[in-house]
Structure 1
């Protein structure tokens, strides 16, 4: 009986070690592309040029409406217009120039600060408060809609990445 147990264990160990070896040297599986459900005009996001339209050039004007609630600062809560052009920043946003500078920096780095947190992301369970923001508009020649909150570490990071478009909380 003991001999049979030892032989079974040895055979199992050999089988497992040979089965695990190819997995250890195999190339990692490609990461699937995530859909961008918040972009209304294009499944490719705001970076893809529209046919016959703006290609996201430096002279493109970005217009958006930022609605903030429950930020803890009455002056920061409300609905504000933000207009960013090559030679001006305007609208009713209190920090229009700084907000436009932040968006220009993201565009220069080919970042999309409006993308949602990927499904299945591991996020710390830290609650950053009840603040919410909705940003709707045109950027890079594309219409978009984004919703931000501070319900966990990933969402707090998204929010902080868009300061001063949204207020510091």
Structure 2
């Protein structure tokens, strides 16, 4: 969202400078300073030595008693008490490669279908490729169900 806003601002400024009246031709335009890089917007890299993944995943009321509980997930190499550590780490690595943060909450004004996906709830805390994580998940509506499903197998498939 912030990246989109920044790009819109830069594009607007570029449009204004090309449409400037001839009177401004006397005054040369100064180059813009570089835009600040925001930490949560930066692309992560698997080669980053500080890019450690250590997560605590707590799941309740998933409909699968063996999936409920608290699990530790460690990546590089995959390990911990998470039942599908390797698959979960692979999914998180794919997210890094695509530049998408799977822990970003649903936008506040998002239009979501009003379907209920059950009482399942989860919390993921720790570090993902060097970035702090404290995310909550539910299946309260279509957006949250999709968000949960996109994080399977880090989160269990809810029944």
Aligned length: 123
Aligned to 1:84: 75
Match status 1:72 vs 2:63: yes
Map residues 94-109 of structure 1 onto 2, 5 A cutoff: 94-109=83-98
* Alpha-carbon distance between aligned partners in 1 of 2:39 and 2:106, rounded to the nearest angstrom: 16
Alignment partner of 1:146 out of 113, 128, 135: 135
| Partner deviation per Cα, 1:93-143 (whole Å, 9 max, x = no partner) | 000000001001111000110000011100000000000000001012121
SS at match of 1:90: coil
* Alpha-carbon distance between aligned partners in 2 of 1:90 and 1:140, rounded to the nearest angstrom: 15
Aligned to 2:117: 128
Deviation at 1:44, TM superposition (A): 3.8
Match status 1:114 vs 2:103: yes
* Alpha-carbon distance between aligned partners in 2 of 1:148 and 1:162, rounded to the nearest angstrom: 10
Deviation at 1:32, TM superposition (A): 4.8
For the pair shown, the structure with the greater C-alpha radius of gyration is: 1
RMSD of aligned Cα (Å): 2.1
Structure 1: runs of 5 or more not aligned: 1-30, 34-42, 50-54
Deviation at 1:145, TM superposition (A): 0.3
What TM-score results when the alignment is normalised by the length of structure 1?
Answer: 0.67
